[in-house]
Amino acid sequence: MTNPFKDVLHSGVILLTGTNTTANHPIIANYIHEAVTKRGAKLIVIDPRRIKLVDIAAMWLQPAVGTDVAWINGLMHVIIKENLYNKAYVEERTEGFEELKACVEKYTPKHVAKITGLREKDIIAAARLFATSGPGSIIYAMGITQHISGTDNVKCLAALSMLCGYVGVPGGGVNPLRGQNNVQGACDMGGLPNVYSGYQVVTSDEIRQKFEKAWNVAKLPDKVGLTVTEMGNAAGKSIKALYIMGENPLLSDADLNHAEKALASLDFLVVQDIFMTETAKLARVVLPSACFAEKEGTFTNTERKVLRVRQALEPPGEAKADWWITAEIANRMGYPMNYDGPEAIMKEINALTPSYGGITYERLEKGGLVWPCPTPDHPGTPILHVGRFTRGKGAFFAIEYRPPAEPTDAEYPFVLTTGRVHYHYHTGTMTRKGTALNRLYPEPLVEINAQDAKKLKVADGEYVRISSRRGTITIKAMVSEITARGVVFVPFHFYEAAANKLTINALDPISKIPEYKVCAVKVEKAA
């Protein structure tokens, strides 16, 4: 996120897309609600589903699933054509504008309407409202990123924000909502195949030498590693052993039949988790780890704020903190990794990670700090790109629309999209263990449009069979107007009707994220 949560309270307009914020990020949804109902902000929701925040929106546009580049380019076309963009900002702080302008020239409201199913007048009205009501905040989540064009989608949203001069200002910015509580922190600490902590690239000789010296090793690899999805494809082939920590790919990976075969083909699988997950059941070794309330450390949340986590309970049985397990394995494999505790690890982070240089335990006792925070006297950086971009000038990219990997056809006429519901979390490893949340949402349900249900002769509460080219599930129907005709939505929390048995393993070429949000299926009334 370029801006803090609370910055929406200073927004004149908020563009919300690819996020069911009330269900998945309810605290942030509360700030949006306050911004609209008490501060007068205009809310534009552009989403294939009728999410709860549509109730207070000034505008709701319902594009066809997977057409994001088209409608974003369409908004920019109108903004440029009508001279609504921030000319001074574009000239002073960006580059590549002429290429962008030439690219979006063809994305007229008429052309975009044909691709997206939106009305021309709504495209024009949304563009005008966003460009003239600033500062404007763009908020998005995995409904934008989980496509083969996910990286393109994000670049287009960044271009839209820069075009209006909304990056680097209070109430503005481009703000992705992270899917889990410490995803930002894991990425910050080098939990990616191409960087060390603080996004220091592994291909830099200077950076590698810094880490070699600190870690007392002769030579660190100079090649970029594999992403999670690439590891799955390589399992049983170039990868013979896999160590999975706090992840449950047998429910969360796309095309689960393929994922299960891949894991089963490994010579050795280790899973480290707090419960016996579907994936852990396949493992040769399961390492029991402590949950958040049973260990010390920090989380870095979606607004880049580092927060202390304090131990409240003793871990049960033989469960240990993740850092201790990792260090102990390193020690037994011949590399000494001896830390007195999490604070000692944080001191190493301070020394090796410029953006975390000033984020010490002593300072965190007084409250959270937002990176970049390079020195002990630095206050932190709530808003990124104030005055200038990290790279100097912000870059516009000319990006063309590409359709999803798997179009519908006569055999598979429906679009499946997946996601989460308010009462459950990810693969249900924690939320499905308790009785209270299971009473509120006890079983998997597929959202299906009322007109589609009538045509299929399916009543609310009856079972349907959903099939793709990869698998079939049987699931109870929830008939509503939340989804458009021809679209069904299935949450992926439930092993009984695992949505990812259906999804396609087509990847974004840059991020390598699967296209979870759109694939072709057929829907039939279950016998």
Confidence of residue 368 (pLDDT cuts 50, 70, 90): very high
- pLDDT per residue as tens digits for the range 504-522: 999 999 999 999 999 999 9
Give the HSE-up count for residue 460: Cα atoms under 13 Å, Cβ half-sphere. Answer: 7
Structure confidence at residue 131 (pLDDT): 98
| Cα R_g (the chain), whole angstroms | 24
| 31/8 Cα distance (integer angstroms) | 7
Q: What CATH architecture is 183-370?
A: 3-Layer(aba) Sandwich (3.40)
Q: Is 390 exposed, middle or buried (0-12, 13-18, 19+ CB in 10 A)?
A: exposed
| Separation of alpha carbons 304 and 307, rounded Å | 10
Cα separation, 110 vs 74, in Å, equals 9
For 135-161, write each residue's pLDDT tens digit.
Answer: 999 999 999 999 999 999 999 999 999
Hey, is 203 helix, strand or coil? coil
Matching CATH topology for 5-177 and 414-525? no
Neighbours of 429 (CB within 10 A): 22
Q: What is the mean pLDDT of the chain?
A: 94
Q: Match 């820069």 to its residue by tokens.
A: 162
Q: Is the preceding peptide bond at 442 cis, omega within 30 degrees of 0?
A: no
Residues 342 and 322: beta-carbon distance below 8 Å? no
Domain residue spans of the chain: 5-177, 183-370, 414-525
Distance CA 390, CA 394 (A): 8
The pLDDT tens digits of the residues spanning 44-67 come to 999 999 999 999 999 999 999 999
Closest CA relative to residue 259, chosen from 277, 288, 279, 274: 279
SS3 507: strand
pLDDT band at 26 (very low <50, low <70, confident <90, very high): very high
Peptide bond into 372 cis (omega under 30): yes
Which residue do the tokens 């319902």 mark? 62
Confidence of residue 232 (pLDDT cuts 50, 70, 90): confident
* Per-residue pLDDT tens over the stretch 150-200: 999 999 999 999 999 999 999 999 999 988 889 999 999 999 999 999 999
Question: What tokens were used for 268?
Answer: 């050795």
**Partner residues linked to 43 by β-bridges:** 14
* Dist. CA 222–CA 203, nearest whole Å: 5
Burial class of residue 392, CB neighbours in 10 A (0-12, 13-18, 19+)? exposed
Cis amide prior to 374 (ω within 30 degrees):
no
* CA atoms of 322 and 319, how far apart (whole Å): 9
Query: Is 5-177 in CATH node 3.40.50.1820?
Result: no
The SS3 of residue 480 is strand
Q: Sign (positive/negative) of CA torsion 153, 156, 162, 166? A: negative
Q: For the chain, first and last CA: distance in Å? A: 47
H-helix or E-strand spanning residue 415: strand 414-419
Instruction: Identify residue 354 by its one-letter amino acid code.
Output: P
Q: Which residue has the higher pLDDT, 229 or 149?
A: 149
Q: How far apart are CA 482 and CA 468, in angstroms?
A: 22
414-525 is a CATH 2.40.40.20 domain: yes
Task: Report the percentage of the chain scoring pLDDT > 90.
Answer: 87
> How are beta strands 297-300 and 305-309 bridged, if at all?
antiparallel
- What are the φ/ψ torsions at residue 519 (nearest 5 degrees)? -155, 165
